[in-house]
Amino acid sequence: MNRDKLHKSLVAHEGFRTLPYIDTTGHISIGVGHNLSAKGLSRSMVWTLLDQDIADALSEMDHYPWFAGLDDVRQRVMVEMMFNMGAAGLATFTNMLAHIVLGRYTEAALHMMTSQWATQVGKRAARLAEMMRTGTDPVAVE
Protein backbone atom coordinates (compact mmCIF):
# COMPACT_ATOMS: atom_id res chain seq x y z
CA MET A 1 0.00 0.00 0.00
CA ASN A 2 1.20 3.48 -0.83
CA ARG A 3 1.26 5.15 2.61
CA ASP A 4 2.03 8.57 1.14
CA LYS A 5 -1.14 8.49 -0.94
CA LEU A 6 -3.15 7.19 2.02
CA HIS A 7 -1.76 9.98 4.18
CA LYS A 8 -2.71 12.63 1.63
CA SER A 9 -6.18 11.16 1.16
CA LEU A 10 -6.88 11.02 4.90
CA VAL A 11 -5.76 14.62 5.36
CA ALA A 12 -7.96 15.66 2.44
CA HIS A 13 -11.00 13.83 3.82
CA GLU A 14 -10.54 14.28 7.58
CA GLY A 15 -8.88 17.68 7.61
CA PHE A 16 -5.91 18.77 9.70
CA ARG A 17 -6.48 20.46 13.06
CA THR A 18 -3.91 21.31 15.69
CA LEU A 19 -6.57 22.08 18.30
CA PRO A 20 -9.31 19.76 19.59
CA TYR A 21 -12.66 19.97 17.83
CA ILE A 22 -16.03 18.26 17.95
CA ASP A 23 -16.44 15.97 14.94
CA THR A 24 -19.69 15.32 13.05
CA THR A 25 -20.63 12.53 15.48
CA GLY A 26 -20.04 14.64 18.59
CA HIS A 27 -16.65 13.19 19.56
CA ILE A 28 -13.67 15.26 20.59
CA SER A 29 -11.04 14.84 17.89
CA ILE A 30 -7.67 16.32 16.99
CA GLY A 31 -5.06 16.13 14.27
CA VAL A 32 -6.26 14.13 11.29
CA GLY A 33 -9.48 12.64 12.64
CA HIS A 34 -7.92 11.21 15.81
CA ASN A 35 -10.91 10.46 18.07
CA LEU A 36 -9.80 11.53 21.55
CA SER A 37 -13.16 10.59 23.06
CA ALA A 38 -12.87 6.94 22.02
CA LYS A 39 -9.13 6.37 21.66
CA GLY A 40 -7.49 8.94 23.90
CA LEU A 41 -3.74 9.09 23.45
CA SER A 42 -1.24 6.27 23.56
CA ARG A 43 1.40 6.33 26.29
CA SER A 44 4.06 7.11 23.70
CA MET A 45 2.01 10.04 22.37
CA VAL A 46 1.64 11.42 25.90
CA TRP A 47 5.41 11.20 26.50
CA THR A 48 6.07 12.79 23.11
CA LEU A 49 3.72 15.66 23.97
CA LEU A 50 5.40 16.09 27.36
CA ASP A 51 8.85 16.18 25.78
CA GLN A 52 7.67 18.80 23.28
CA ASP A 53 5.99 20.89 25.98
CA ILE A 54 9.18 20.80 28.07
CA ALA A 55 11.21 21.85 25.03
CA ASP A 56 8.77 24.73 24.46
CA ALA A 57 9.05 25.84 28.09
CA LEU A 58 12.85 25.68 27.97
CA SER A 59 12.85 27.69 24.77
CA GLU A 60 10.72 30.37 26.45
CA MET A 61 13.21 30.48 29.33
CA ASP A 62 15.82 31.71 26.82
CA HIS A 63 14.17 35.13 27.26
CA TYR A 64 15.63 35.22 30.78
CA PRO A 65 19.42 35.51 30.42
CA TRP A 66 19.97 34.75 34.12
CA PHE A 67 18.16 31.39 33.87
CA ALA A 68 21.30 29.48 32.81
CA GLY A 69 23.07 30.65 35.98
CA LEU A 70 20.51 29.08 38.32
CA ASP A 71 21.19 25.75 39.96
CA ASP A 72 19.35 22.68 38.67
CA VAL A 73 16.58 22.77 41.29
CA ARG A 74 15.70 26.41 40.71
CA GLN A 75 15.85 25.94 36.94
CA ARG A 76 13.29 23.15 37.29
CA VAL A 77 11.06 25.42 39.38
CA MET A 78 11.15 28.07 36.68
CA VAL A 79 10.48 25.56 33.89
CA GLU A 80 7.54 24.10 35.84
CA MET A 81 6.07 27.56 36.27
CA MET A 82 6.58 28.33 32.57
CA PHE A 83 5.05 24.96 31.67
CA ASN A 84 2.04 25.61 33.90
CA MET A 85 1.33 29.27 33.13
CA GLY A 86 3.04 30.00 29.84
CA ALA A 87 5.22 32.99 29.07
CA ALA A 88 2.51 35.59 29.64
CA GLY A 89 1.59 34.14 33.03
CA LEU A 90 5.16 33.86 34.26
CA ALA A 91 5.90 37.41 33.12
CA THR A 92 3.32 38.71 35.60
CA PHE A 93 5.56 37.55 38.47
CA THR A 94 7.68 40.70 38.20
CA ASN A 95 8.61 40.87 41.90
CA MET A 96 9.49 37.19 42.09
CA LEU A 97 11.61 37.44 38.95
CA ALA A 98 13.42 40.52 40.26
CA HIS A 99 14.28 38.71 43.49
CA ILE A 100 15.58 35.68 41.59
CA VAL A 101 17.87 37.89 39.51
CA LEU A 102 19.34 39.23 42.75
CA GLY A 103 19.65 35.77 44.31
CA ARG A 104 17.04 36.56 46.97
CA TYR A 105 15.32 33.19 46.83
CA THR A 106 13.46 33.45 50.14
CA GLU A 107 11.77 36.63 48.93
CA ALA A 108 11.06 35.03 45.53
CA ALA A 109 9.42 32.08 47.28
CA LEU A 110 7.29 34.45 49.36
CA HIS A 111 6.01 36.13 46.19
CA MET A 112 5.23 32.72 44.73
CA MET A 113 3.13 31.83 47.77
CA THR A 114 1.21 35.11 47.90
CA SER A 115 0.01 34.85 44.32
CA GLN A 116 -3.31 33.81 42.84
CA TRP A 117 -1.39 31.01 41.13
CA ALA A 118 -0.52 29.53 44.55
CA THR A 119 -4.21 29.47 45.46
CA GLN A 120 -4.99 27.71 42.20
CA VAL A 121 -2.31 25.01 42.34
CA GLY A 122 -2.13 24.50 46.12
CA LYS A 123 0.47 21.93 47.21
CA ARG A 124 2.37 22.31 43.97
CA ALA A 125 3.05 25.97 44.73
CA ALA A 126 4.17 25.17 48.27
CA ARG A 127 6.54 22.49 46.99
CA LEU A 128 7.98 24.70 44.25
CA ALA A 129 8.34 27.69 46.58
CA GLU A 130 10.26 25.53 49.05
CA MET A 131 12.50 24.33 46.23
CA MET A 132 13.08 27.95 45.20
CA ARG A 133 13.81 28.99 48.79
CA THR A 134 16.24 26.16 49.60
CA GLY A 135 17.59 25.01 46.26
CA THR A 136 16.89 21.41 47.31
CA ASP A 137 14.48 18.73 46.11
CA PRO A 138 11.49 17.86 48.27
CA VAL A 139 11.58 14.58 50.14
CA ALA A 140 8.77 13.11 48.03
CA VAL A 141 6.66 14.23 45.11
CA GLU A 142 2.99 13.35 45.45
Whole-angstrom distance, CA of residue 92 vs CA of residue 85: 10
User: Quick one: CATH architecture of 43-134?
Assistant: Orthogonal Bundle (1.10)
Burial of 12 (C-beta count, 10 Å sphere; 0-12/13-18/19+): exposed
Task: Measure the CA–CA gap between 62 and 24, rounded to whole angstroms.
Answer: 41
pLDDT in tens, the chain (142 residues): 999 999 999 999 999 999 999 998 999 999 999 999 999 999 999 999 999 999 999 999 999 999 999 999 999 999 999 999 999 999 999 999 999 999 999 999 999 999 999 999 999 999 999 999 999 998 655 5
* pLDDT at 138 (0 to 100): 80
Domain boundaries along the sequence of the chain: 3-39, 43-134
Radius of gyration over every alpha carbon of the chain, rounded to an integer in angstroms: 20
Q: What is the pTM of this model?
A: 0.85
Grouping H, G, I as helix, E, B as strand and the rest as coil, residue 73 is helix
Angle at which helices 123-134 and 105-113 cross, to 10°: 170
CB 21 within 8 A of CB 28: yes
